[in-house]
Amino acid sequence: MSDQPSATIPTAPPASMRRLSRWLLLGEWRVHPVRALVAIAAIAVGISLGFAIHLINAAAFNEFSAAVKGLSGVADIQVRGTEPFFDEAIYPLLAERDGVVVASPVLEFEASVPGQRTALKIIGIDAFRIGFITPDLVGIPAPDKIADTIADDALFLSPAAQQWLQPRAGTVTLQVGTNQLQLRVAGPLPGARAGQRIATMDIGAAQWRFEKLGQLSRIDLKLRDGINRDSFKAQLEQDLQRQYPGRFLVNQPNDQEQNSRNEGMSRAYRVNLTVLALVALFTGAFLVFSTQALSVIRRRSQFALLRVLGMDRRRLLRQILIEGLCLGIAGSAIGIAAGYGMAAAALHFMGADLGAGFFSGVRPQVHFTPVAATIYFALGVAVALLGCAAPAIDAARAKPAVALKSGTEEAAMSRLARAWPSLACMALAALLSQLPPVFELPLFGYLSIALLLIGAIGLMPRLAAIVFRAAYRRWSAATANQPGASAVMTLTLSRLANASGQAGIALGGVLSSFSLMVAMAIMVASFRVSLDDWLRQVLPSDIYISSASGGATAGIRPQEQDALAALPGVEHADFLRLHALSLAPDRPAVALMARHIDAANPGHSLAIVGPTQVPASDTLPVWVSEAMVDLYGMKLGQRVELPLNGKLHTFQVAGVWRDYARPTGTVQIRLSDYRAITGDLNASGSALTLKKGARAEATLAALKRLPFAASLEATEPSEIRTMSMKVFDRSFAITYLLEAIAIVIGLFGVAATFSAQTLARAKEFGMLRHVGVTRRQVLSILAIEGGALTALGILTGFVLGWVISLILVFVVNPQSFHWTMELHLPWPLLGAVAAVLLAASALTALLSGRQSLSGGPIRAVREDW
């Protein structure tokens, strides 16, 4: 029969073809609504998760940026120190500089609040200058107390800070060192953003009350009209670097450097969440493919008849693509609406940071973004079209004379057995996984994971053929001389061995869902176990004491340190001092930790990664975290300059260590070196090592009797680990949710695939019944087939998931967050999910088989006549 429509058959008018198209589409959905609904739901879940995460992060980042802009006001230039505070002697030089109209000094710090784990940001201002640059920071005193703006005990609170602190009798208690300081609430700060916990007070009072006399945090400059800001900034940077090398950073508020600093804090987190959301969309794409492929195979003879009756190849291709397009439109529309609802609910219940802590202090509202909605909608439609492209092309290429014959379904899948495209994808994936990040994001790592999935799914028909043909040959050889061998097993293995294309579709469904679940589960478990091991290594002491859980104004003075070291049962007391350093204008500040470190054995208190090096005698050692290697290019043995006490000091990198607490970078130096350079003898915390046989309870009881004990917080390592793991679980709550959704989608996908295959084989089952195979034997065949296919898919999915987890753990994670971890496999979780998948596939096959066998065998066989 010719592949072209017969010349004697007139072409149907367009109106008739449109009616036929609608009839075919609605008829297919009416007969098999569950398959269509599963495909739509899979696309909707992927789109909704991706769109919701975009809306949440866009709202949080925009609100966070707006809050930062509110603190900068209309300043043209900002001068900050590389250390948190600098000498105010620089102020008159900047205020008198040519081109400067107003110079506003600012003292900004995190004040410790007794009993709270978060700090109150206090901004000391000059009331006579701040109004010209940053009017949002001006508090409103009572009408009869105008002088409160410069009072030495007055504080103005933002609405969020008022709600948080609930000041009693109009006062707020803060902590300075181990002493408590009470300040009077003089009025509100209405210019603050919603959720922003800040307070302002007179700058002289702040310097005095918080022991920061003669210190500033930044100086905001307003330039005269007509002054070129870029030229002024460049010249000022040059002059300050020449006079005060390494002491100051100059930037234009809200410029590209500051925006990149704000964005960089959460970019990797946001991108990783989005990619995890798109995992669900990828699974949805495969479900569309399996749904359409099985639908096309089942209707192969129907399409051939339409070709004979006059439908040309182009119209048939368009008809099948329209079916996929409708699935994509429905799924994308539902996903966009659901994503908006999810974003609103998440912002209300989980906060702006989804538990990660990047956007604390803001209260954003979700806003619908048409551009992003259009992009995600188009992405869902494109995924659906791609999913049905291969079945559509195959149906259009099929010759009507061949397709009209029954039993040609497997021939339609022959192209899927080609191995070279899949092997090429996997080879390219291996190559891409070794490439460096782009814009500090593991884009090539993500691409290699996608190629691995595509390549592995493409190899499924070939793998199914190899495995089941080998199993059939071994079974045949083993039962050749056994007349009573199981006919059920023979029929099952024969069918699996000779229908590898259709088996490959079912295997692909199991593979895509299970492998991604395995990869995510291994990644999260590896991080969690590595974090717990890290905490055990970096917390070797028996008791840890901090002057406050949050903020930078609390501290332990030298005489108080002596009292802690003299506590009964204490063998040794180590003290820690925290300091912040700004090493690059476009990056967040890094943490400087000064503590006792044994240069000969730094691994006792640090999670050292790789070799260590004893520095030269003329330099001081520092130990840098892995983030410092990635972000600042530091390496073992390198000499680095760090700003301390207003000067640059040379150190040598003596080792690299793992730090899970600070992805922006950490530098550790010896406490003795820090004190010799800065003269700062205070401590932020202490670690007490007890004598052998001493009881921690007795030491803690003695600690409570110290006069300054009320301002200290003592914890044992087990408590710190427990609290840290709770924070970890809260931070990864959204990841756990995405993992659970991936499992659910995988279960639905497996169920839909096996159901579709089983229902499409009604004629095959009718013939088996006609030749004497009992109903029970047919159901046994289906159960064994489902179990065998799922078992092979689970085994393959585990191997593929393990390989993907290697990329996630050793490529994506270090490139995203700049730390490494050890690989750990959560065997109980993996085994439980595998068992559920295995049971679901066998049960689905049985239930579908009962429906397929509900008709008589004669009726089923007659469909093939």
pLDDT tens by residue, 408-452 = 554 545 555 678 888 999 999 999 999 999 888 888 998 999 899
Residues 246 and 83 sit within 8 Å (Cβ to Cβ): no
pLDDT tens by residue, 207-232 = 999 999 999 999 999 999 989 999 99
Backbone conformation region of residue 94, classed left if phi is above 0, alpha if psi is from -120 to 50, else beta: alpha
pTM over 0.85: no
Q: CA-to-CA distance for 341 and 864, rounded, in angstroms?
A: 49
The yes-or-no verdict on residue 539 having pLDDT over 70 is yes
List the beta bridge partners of residue 221.
77, 103
Q: Closest by alpha carbon to 273, among 753, 732, 600?
A: 732
3-class SS of residue 436: coil
Compute the mean pLDDT over every residue in the chain, rounded to the nearest whole number.
83
The yes-or-no verdict on residue 489 having pLDDT over 80 is yes
Name the more confident of 455 and 400.
Answer: 455
Contacts 24+ apart (CB under 8 A), 527-530: 527/728, 527/732, 527/813, 527/821, 528/725, 528/728, 528/732, 528/824, 529/822, 529/824, 530/660, 530/821, 530/822, 530/824
Instruction: Report the relative pairing of strands 215-216 and 179-188 from DSSP bridges.
Output: unpaired
Q: In one letter, which amino acid is 7? A: A
The yes-or-no verdict on residue 146 having pLDDT over 70 is yes
3-class SS of residue 624: strand
The percentage of residues in the chain with a pLDDT greater than 70, rounded to a whole number, is: 80
Name the more confident of 238 and 293.
Answer: 238
Residues 326 and 334 sit within 8 Å (Cβ to Cβ): no
pLDDT of 507 reads 72
Q: CA-to-CA distance for 429 and 275, rounded, in angstroms?
A: 17
pLDDT of 404 reads 55
pLDDT of 755 reads 66
Q: CA-to-CA distance for 784 and 841, rounded, in angstroms?
A: 10
The yes-or-no verdict on residue 702 having pLDDT over 60 is yes
Count how many Cα atoms sit within 13 Å of the Cα of residue 134 in the half-sphere of its side chain. Answer: 32
Is residue 503 very low, low, confident or very high in pLDDT (cuts 50, 70, 90)?
Answer: low
CB within 8 Å of 245: residues ≥ 6 apart? 648
* Most confident listed range (294-303, 389-398, 639-648): 639-648
pLDDT of 401 reads 59
Is residue 205 very low, low, confident or very high in pLDDT (cuts 50, 70, 90)?
Answer: very high
* Most confident listed range (115-129, 241-255, 664-678, 776-790): 664-678
Q: CA-to-CA distance for 434 and 428, rounded, in angstroms?
A: 10
Is residue 865 very low, low, confident or very high in pLDDT (cuts 50, 70, 90)?
Answer: very low
List the beta bridge partners of residue 648.
643
Is residue 864 very low, low, confident or very high in pLDDT (cuts 50, 70, 90)?
Answer: very low
3-class SS of residue 113: coil
Q: CA-to-CA distance for 71 and 356, rounded, in angstroms?
A: 23
The yes-or-no verdict on residue 64 having pLDDT over 50 is yes
Residues 798 and 515 sit within 8 Å (Cβ to Cβ): yes
Is residue 847 very low, low, confident or very high in pLDDT (cuts 50, 70, 90)?
Answer: confident
The yes-or-no verdict on residue 40 having pLDDT over 60 is yes
pLDDT of 863 reads 47
Is residue 8 very low, low, confident or very high in pLDDT (cuts 50, 70, 90)?
Answer: very low
The yes-or-no verdict on residue 590 having pLDDT over 60 is yes
pLDDT tens by residue, 555-567 = 899 999 999 999 9
Q: Closest by alpha carbon to 835, among 804, 807, 798, 865?
A: 798
pLDDT of 390 reads 72
Is residue 7 very low, low, confident or very high in pLDDT (cuts 50, 70, 90)?
Answer: very low
Q: In one letter, which amino acid is 767? A: M
The yes-or-no verdict on residue 9 having pLDDT over 80 is no
pLDDT of 756 reads 63
Give domain limits for the chain.
Answer: 1-69+267-412, 74-252, 419-538+718-865, 543-715
Name the more confident of 140 and 264.
Answer: 140
